[in-house]
């Protein structure tokens, strides 16, 4: 597996690929193709190839601009799909079983370290840091998927959904991820709190 220095300005394909089935379900395949094609994503990219993060950002931005009424729902579904893909293909079954048997306070730091170690796959040239919890807090500086965007509320529903899916499956089923600050609203970093003490 390449390290971050070898994939400058690139991000993992799930940032695109998981949007496709989510859009197909929610707004239809024709609408999805109309969004994807002008940006060079029809046909869909190779599932094993990293993608220029600027193109990914353009796709997510176009989704928010052209489908504001469904963008949040689609992004959440795509984030859940990304989490499911990671569970199915990237984390060994034995490791998943072990995490599920551990107390949440023990499993959470292990999963957090694993996420940080592979953050380049879904954060691109952004910088991900974390603080142990609960709540576990991830801060993503210079998030490439919303770089240059301006909004009155946090936009990173895809990232939050990825975090929530992984923690709810491997740490505690009541885990929830909430983006509390966002670069798009003028914050210095996108901040995600994951807590299971509800």
For the segment 2-59, what is each residue's pLDDT rounded down to a tens digit?
444 444 589 999 999 999 999 999 999 999 999 999 999 999 999 989 999 999 999 9
The low-confidence residues of the chain, meaning pLDDT below 50, are 1-7
Helix (H) or strand (E) holding 4: none
Closest CA to 128 of 197, 183, 196, 173: 183
Q: Which CATH architecture has domain 4-195?
A: Alpha-Beta Complex (3.90)
Domain locations in the chain as residue ranges: 4-195
Q: Which pLDDT value is given to residue 94?
A: 97
Q: Which pLDDT value is given to residue 198?
A: 79
Q: Which pLDDT value is given to residue 133?
A: 87
Helix (H) or strand (E) holding 52: strand 51-52
CA distance 190 to 142: 8
């Amino acid at each position: 597996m390449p390290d971050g220095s070898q994939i400058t300005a690139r991000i993992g394909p799930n940032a695109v690929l998981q949007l496709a089935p989510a859009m197909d379900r929610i707004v239809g395949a024709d609408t999805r193709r109309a969004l994807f094609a002008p940006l060079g994503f029809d046909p869909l990219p190779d599932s094993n190839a990293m993608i220029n993060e600027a193109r990914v950002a353009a796709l997510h931005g176009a989704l928010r601009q052209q489908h504001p009424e469904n963008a949040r729902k689609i992004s959440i579904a795509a984030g859940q799909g990304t989490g499911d893909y990671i569970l199915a293909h990237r984390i060994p079954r034995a490791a998943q079983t072990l995490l599920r048997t551990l107390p949440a306070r023990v499993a959470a730091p292990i999963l957090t370290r694993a996420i940080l170690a592979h953050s380049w796959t879904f954060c691109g040239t952004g910088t991900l840091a974390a603080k142990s919890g609960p709540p576990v807090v991830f801060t993503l500086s210079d998030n490439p998927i919303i770089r240059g965007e301006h909004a009155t509320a946090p936009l990173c529903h895809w990232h939050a959904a990825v975090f929530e899916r992984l923690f709810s499956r491997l740490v505690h089923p009541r885990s929830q991820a909430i983006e509390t600050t966002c670069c798009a609203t003028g914050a210095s970093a996108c901040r995600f709190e994951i807590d299971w003490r509800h």
